[in-house]
Amino acid sequence: MTTYAIAGASGQLGRKVLDALLTQVDAADIVALARDPAKLADYAVRGVGVRVADYDRPETLAPALAGVDRLLLISGNAVGARVPQHAAVVAAAQAAGVGFIAYTSILHADTSPIGLAGEHRETEALIRASGLGYALLRNGWYMENYTGNLAPALQFGVISGAAGEGRIAAATRADLAAGAAAVLIAGSLGVHELAGDVAFTMADLAAEVARQSGQPVAYVDKSEADYTAQLAGVGLPAPIAAMVADSSFQTSKGALFDDSHTLSRLIGRPTTTPAEVIRVSLAG
């Protein structure tokens, strides 16, 4: 019997990983870790073990990982604070005798020019140095980043960015979660570049939203500075605006493109197409 643990299970990706695991693994063999276990009450009633694990409180991590064979560490969302948080989890995994750790990194982490990649590179390095068996799940951008809220695009007829003609191989959280579950169950060691099968430019995205909605929607490309100012102007805190604009600008250099099709091979089917994700979002 193999015991699987998911750290960051209460988040949007984590819950989908639990859903994917539950289609193939007994609930009794799954441990869901969260700093607030109440958020996972719906999984507890299904028989999933729920334990407290706070990346900022190392004393919670050893008991959380007792008896765990394979751990998925979902990267935290406190940008700038994540390396010590992830280091604490890796140290606890070593101490608990966890045999295998998978970590949600960023697409092409080793070469990515995106500012957010730095913390992922540092985490990957400490995982490689840990001596644990490991899998690096280098996730591309979520499709939902582009389709989660299409209302402003429909209202103003504009999608803005600094991504130029950069092609984006985004994938849904559900597909990335299915990939993570597949890697955990198979114990597939190594680096996995995980992205959608169908890449698109921001202009393609706008054209598909226009086609499906029947309303005029166009992509407007901006400089990184102008896009940063626009995001700050609609209320994003300055560091977040800069981070989003940086990611968008680096997209123009190919930072979010991948054509390895590793994810569809892992999940045994094509990834969900952008057109399908847009259809569901517009129907929403």
Contact residues for ligand NAP (CB under 6 A)?
8, 10-14, 34-36, 39, 53-56, 74-78, 85, 104, 139, 141-142, 145
> How does strand 49-52 pair with strand 190-194?
unpaired
Find the shortest distance in angstroms from Cβ 79 to ligand NAP. 8
C-beta closer to ligand NAP: residue 36 or 59: 36
C-beta closer to ligand NAP: residue 29 or 144: 144
C-beta closer to ligand NAP: residue 210 or 278: 278
Find the shortest distance in angstroms from Cβ 185 to ligand NAP. 20
C-beta closer to ligand NAP: residue 104 or 250: 104
Is the Cβ–Cβ distance between 164 and 224 less than 8 Å? no
C-beta closer to ligand NAP: residue 70 or 76: 76
Pull the structure tokens for residue 222: 């901006």
> How does strand 49-52 pair with strand 100-106?
unpaired
Is the Cβ–Cβ distance between 168 and 277 less than 8 Å? no
Find the shortest distance in angstroms from Cβ 88 to ligand NAP. 9
C-beta closer to ligand NAP: residue 58 or 133: 58
Is the Cβ–Cβ distance between 141 and 167 less than 8 Å? no
Find the shortest distance in angstroms from Cβ 13 to ligand NAP. 3
Q: Which residues of 164-197 are buried (b: 16+ CB within 10 A; e: fewer)?
A: bebbbbbbbbbbbbbbbbbbbeeeeeeebbbbbb
Count the alpha carbons within 13 Å of 182 in the hemisphere toward its beta carbon: 17
DSSP 171: B
Q: How far apart are CA 237 and CA 243, in angstroms?
A: 10
Find the shortest distance in angstroms from Cβ 112 to ligand NAP. 12
Find the shortest distance in angstroms from Cβ 101 to ligand NAP. 15
Q: Looking at the DSSP assignment, which residues form a beta bridge with residue 106?
A: 139
The residue with its CB nearest to ligand NAP is: 11
